[in-house]
Structure 1
Amino acid sequence: MPLFNDFGFTEEQKMMRQSLLNLAERHLPPEKIRELDRDSGWPKEAYKALAKDGWLGLLYPERYGGLDGSYKDACILLETLSYHYACFATTYMTSAIYAGLQLLYNGSEELKQDYMVPLIQGDIYIAFALTEPQTGSDAAAIKTHAVRDGDDYIVRGQKWFITSAHVADYIVLVVKTDPSAQPAHNGFSLLLVDAKAKGVSIKPIETMGRHTTHTNQIFFDDVRVPARNLIGQENRGWRILMRGLNLERMAIAACGAGNAQKAIDIAQDYATQRIQFDQPISKFQVISHKLADMRIKAEIARLITYRTAEMLDAGWDAKMETAIAKIVATDNDFECANIGMQVMGGAGFSMEHDMQRLFRDSRLGPIGGGSNEIQRNIIAKLMGL
């Protein structure tokens, strides 16, 4: 049985997936993944390999050193990386998609040349910071603010749950520049902040899973940011943020589909080798049906993800579809890991097997990137409810 269903892929896309899988296996063998998860390490070597082979530029124009790839190409990349190790895909998304594409779509040519091109080349890593301690689902309530002072902005505030900020060279930061704006999101702006600047301090947050790309608190204490580092127009940050939400949801869905397939492979491999009552436990209907349910859930996640990607490639305004894809893929990912734990029993619960890591890592999916409850609000609103 093939690793993934590749119906509808071009020969180039099939080769792309195999190349990425080979890269991941070469630079992140199982023992290295377990070490990173145990020690909260970061996959520097593997990330550099992605850069060397040009993958960081997949969604960027050729004139900047990119590959002019499609959204479907991005899904293939993220599903493949997440299949190998969920945090590897997240490492890619954070800088090359969430942060970097803000520079591509909205940054000045100077910012693109000085920061986006080095990002594509793998010379710098950029994190993205929106969430705050008092604002999660209610993103419009952010309090971190920036005040213009001559040729600089002065930033004060705090961000929370910021992925990979501990290894970032720069941060795409969402701030409030007009505190009197009504509605509040009309007063937002985006700034590119040096993560090593005076007044910036970063502290890790200990979490149940995603230990490699763990989240962080960031404190900004009178941090000076050059005004030329404004991304887009002042007080127009909310509008440009909204442009990236469809892509973010699609990307998270692709990662969920990959991780779900990995759970199937681990559980199936265990079930066909575990002997009870003189036969593999996969021969018992109660186990084979669980594996079949996992396969159904993973395939549904893939189907909705790739259909959504094709809609985005066609220029479709797929707000509802990306919200649906995010819900379906992340819920199914967690359910696959949960069923996989049950199939493996005590072995799945033990740290020597990888299923417990997939279970821990998959739990973030329905929470992060706009909780699945918020996605349902979006769907209901688009339905006119």
Structure 2
Amino acid sequence: MNFEYTKAQLELQDEISHFVKHTINKMGFIDKKRPFNAEEWKEVGNLKIHGLPIPVEFGGRGFDALSSTIALEELSYHCEDGGLPFAIAAQMLSCLIPIWKNGSDSQRNNFLPKLCDGSYIIANSITEQETGSDIYGMKSTAKQEGGDFIIQAQKTLITNAPLAGWSLVYVATNPEKRYFGGVSAFIIDHSLSGVNSNLALKKLGLESVQMGNQSFENVKVSEKDLLGKLGSGGPIFQSSMEWERACLGAVHLGRMKKIIDFLILFVKNRNVGGNPISKYQSISHKIADMKIKIETSRLILYKAASNLDSNKETGITASIAKLYISEAYRTMCYDAFSIMGGSAYLSGSFIENYIKDSLSSTIYSGTSEIQRNIISGYLKI
């Protein structure tokens, strides 16, 4: 087992860090309450960061899952705004991966190059208000009429929805079958009659990421808009969630590294009783525990990504990664708040946005409770 980065991975890290420092962080992303726009999204696309794991033939960078995860970690560490790497990773893992893995030649050729270079934005549209984590109990439907389908759907908490021009929408086509043949996925153009995806929701964290409600009222689509086969939406979504759960933790890990780097300087320079607070074990031990969380998270993250590349035990390792890293991220933010004391309580403090951003990490891509259900299911208990 080799823990060393390859030459290509080191070069990728350097490329990402240089780009973020000299381009992204100078384009206004540091205004964490201002949503990024299409021009800024396209600038990221010039490096095809949106398409890190997508094959070169479809406009991507052609990296494996592990290298893509290393790149996302580097992006998150250097980017001043944590919302941007989250939005990039969410689109990549929940939308580009399914189109690459399941799309027709036409869909891959039409969408992937423009998604990889930032010309297009697409949203992953599955969550519903009433069903929540019971995703296969969705109320959204598609009724077949000849060679067309009529979509009726109400979706909520959809990342990138107000900015996107398309959505990958999951609807029930045979509700009784649920996961096993009951759900289908469609790529839907937002310019179609009956699509409303413009309402942005106000959130507690990740403020620069636009998230919204969507409605699809009597939207007519054709068979060419169907991703994969009719009824194959369940496995398509599950596969995309394995990618998301396995790799999205890279965004959290980058933020965790940023926090510990800040805290090490903070405790060395903050004096109490004539001594830097780094000399107190109650402080230094907390930071030592943070370092352990970071190193453990990286091992779990890289194993989950490597398993995607080898197609081995992807489900359980992805859920372990999602559960452990998101919980570690949230805990680390609160420990940082404790160490910083009163200065952390002031609006605009270093840790404020990290705390708010971390709250949702244990909810999206399946809550911590759902991950424990998945893990225990693999253990047959």
Is this a same-fold pair by TM over 0.5? yes
Give 1:162 shift: 0.4
Q: Which amino acid aligns with 2:138?
A: I
8 A Cα contact 2:247 2:304, kept in partner: no
**Alignment partner, residue 65 of structure 2:** 71
Give 1:253 shift: 2.0
Q: Which amino acid aligns with 2:200?
A: P
8 A Cα contact 1:27 1:46, kept in partner: no
SS class of match (1:244): helix
Is 2:26 aligned against 1:24? no
**Alignment partner, residue 82 of structure 1:** 76
Give 1:24 shift: 1.8
Q: Deviations over 1:291-341 (max 9, x none)?
A: 111111111111111122222222213221111111111111111111111
What TM-score does the superposition give when structure 1 sets the normalisation length?
0.92
Moved more, 22-31 or 269-278: 22-31
Q: Quote the Cα distance in structure 2 between the aligned partners of 1:147 and 1:26.
A: 50
Q: Quote the Cα distance in structure 2 between the aligned partners of 1:185 and 1:163.
A: 26
Residue identity (%): 27
Is 2:323 aligned against 1:327? yes
SS class of match (1:221): strand
Is 2:170 aligned against 1:190? no
Moved more, 41-50 or 232-241: 41-50
Is 2:199 aligned against 1:201? no
Q: Quote the Cα distance in structure 2 between the aligned partners of 1:351 and 1:273.
A: 21
Q: Quote the Cα distance in structure 1 between the aligned partners of 2:361 and 2:23.
A: 25
SS class of match (2:361): coil
1:205/1:303 CA distance change after superposition, 3 Å:
same
Q: Quote the Cα distance in structure 1 between the aligned partners of 2:82 and 2:33.
A: 15
Q: Which amino acid aligns with 1:186?
A: G
**Alignment partner, residue 59 of structure 1:** 53
Q: Which amino acid aligns with 1:301?
A: S
**Alignment partner, residue 293 of structure 1:** 289
Q: Deviations over 1:231-271 (max 9, x none)?
A: 01111211222222221111222222222112212222222
SS class of match (1:208): coil
1:155/1:183 CA distance change after superposition, 3 Å:
closer
Give 1:159 shift: 0.3
Give 1:47 shift: 3.0
Q: Quote the Cα distance in structure 2 between the aligned partners of 1:166 and 1:245.
A: 22
SS class of match (2:130): coil
Give 1:220 shift: 1.2
8 A Cα contact 1:175 1:190, kept in partner: yes
8 A Cα contact 1:43 1:212, kept in partner: no
SS class of match (2:169): strand
1:132/1:183 CA distance change after superposition, 3 Å:
closer
Q: 1:357 aligns with which of 323, 343, 353?
A: 353
Give 1:359 shift: 0.7
Give 1:372 shift: 1.0
Q: 1:125 aligns with which of 77, 102, 121?
A: 121
Moved more, 17-26 or 330-339: 17-26
Q: Which amino acid aligns with 2:51?
A: G
Q: Which amino acid aligns with 2:252?
A: G
8 A Cα contact 1:256 1:301, kept in partner: no
Give 1:145 shift: 0.9
8 A Cα contact 1:89 1:255, kept in partner: yes
1:15/1:31 CA distance change after superposition, 3 Å:
same
**Alignment partner, residue 367 of structure 1:** 363
1:305/1:43 CA distance change after superposition, 3 Å:
farther
Q: Quote the Cα distance in structure 2 between the aligned partners of 1:38 and 1:120.
A: 25
SS class of match (1:329): helix
Q: Which amino acid aligns with 2:161?
A: A
8 A Cα contact 2:172 2:178, kept in partner: no
Q: 1:164 aligns with which of 148, 151, 160?
A: 160
Q: 2:103 aligns with which of 107, 117, 120?
A: 107
Q: Which amino acid aligns with 1:287?
A: I
8 A Cα contact 1:290 1:339, kept in partner: yes
Give 1:151 shift: 4.1
Q: 1:238 aligns with which of 220, 234, 241?
A: 234
Give 1:100 shift: 1.3
Give 1:275 shift: 2.7
Give 1:43 shift: 5.7
* Runs of at least 5 residues in structure 1 that lack an aligned partner in the other structure: 1-5
Is 2:93 aligned against 1:93? no
* Runs of at least 5 residues in structure 2 that lack an aligned partner in the other structure: none
